[in-house]
Amino acid sequence: MPILVIGDLMIDHYISVEKSRINPEAPTLIFKYLHEWYQLGGTANVAKHIKLLSNNYVELIGDFGHKYEILEKLLKEFDIKYKKFIFNKKTTIKTRIICDNYILLRIDNEDIYYLNYLETLSIIDYLEKIIDKFNIIVISDYQKGVITDLLLKKLFNLIKKKKLDIKILIDFKNKDLLKTLIDYSEFIHCIFPNKNEFCKIINKELNTIEEFKEELRSFYEKYNFKFNVFLKLSKNGCLYLFNRLGGIKYFENPKVTNVVDVTGAGDVVIATYATELNKLVANKVKINERDLYCIIEKCLLNATKHIKKLGS
């Protein structure tokens, strides 16, 4: 069954170099250029991993920006369908300099641009035409301006008006969206904060797994929301709050050695979750706690495999 992905599109740009000699002009190294390549980044990377994991129909919506030709070429390579919106924004490009399979430096070239009312309506108008065919929607917010309060409210109200049963997964970096997410929590299946984002939400510094578990429980009791929470704890695995039972379970990461590149590990998590959840929905399975726990274990396994490779 098809999956819809909405959010901030980016390009990951890699430049491979090798050490050459000491710079005679200053006490710095000179590197020799070897080659470079582009990959899908941000929300586009989420869509790519969903496609790789399932080969299902995946459609992507976002602001393509001024480097839309690169994004289109990469999306076509993975057979990802897309609706191209170009607003007043340059495409976010993250350039990583690679030497001996390690990232030496990252350079971000971007302008943060939040969609205005008319631009948001243009996306909602398109969604109104296509949303009926999707059972899963992934919203991936990198705080670059596509995912706003207005867009979310319009989307949730559209689903309400059409009386659709859609599982919505949200990975958000902008904590200002929290009130809207809680107000419309009945439309959301799960949110995916990482540990730093969660600390910002609750305005506390946390260190241990037990501290995160205690604060997640307090967070749930304070707001009484209806979605599940997949709290990513980086190398320490994750906590999962299963809303229907109000219980919190800790999941340990599979053991991993030789971590090369953690870029996009969170994208792999939500892509895996969406893919596995989509299988259950397609088979009309009544989803229970055990089903979700199996999905979580697969998410962690895939993320662990991902970080062993550079630029994957």
Which tokens hold the place of 11?
């390009």
In the structure encoding, which two tokens stand for residue 29, read together?
Answer: 């190294």
Angle at alpha carbon of residue 18, lines to 15 and 22, rounded to 5°: 120
Query: Which has the closest alpha carbon to 156: 129, 183, 192, 179?
Result: 183
The DSSP line for 137-184 is EEEE--SSSSS-HHHHHHHHHHHHHHT---EEEEE---GGGHHHHHHT
**Whole-angstrom Cα distance, residue 310 to residue 184?**
38
Q: Which residues are marked as active site?
A: 267
Question: Residue 5 forms beta bridges with which residues?
Answer: 60, 138
Question: Cβ(11)–Cβ(67) under 8 Å?
Answer: yes
Tell me the residue type at 165: D
Pairing outcome for strands 136-140 and 3-7: parallel
Whether the CB-CB separation of 302 and 272 falls below 8 Å is answered with yes
Pairing of strands 58-63, 92-99: unpaired
Pairing mode of beta strands 247-251, 238-242 = antiparallel
Please say whether the beta carbons of 244 and 20 come within 8 A.
no
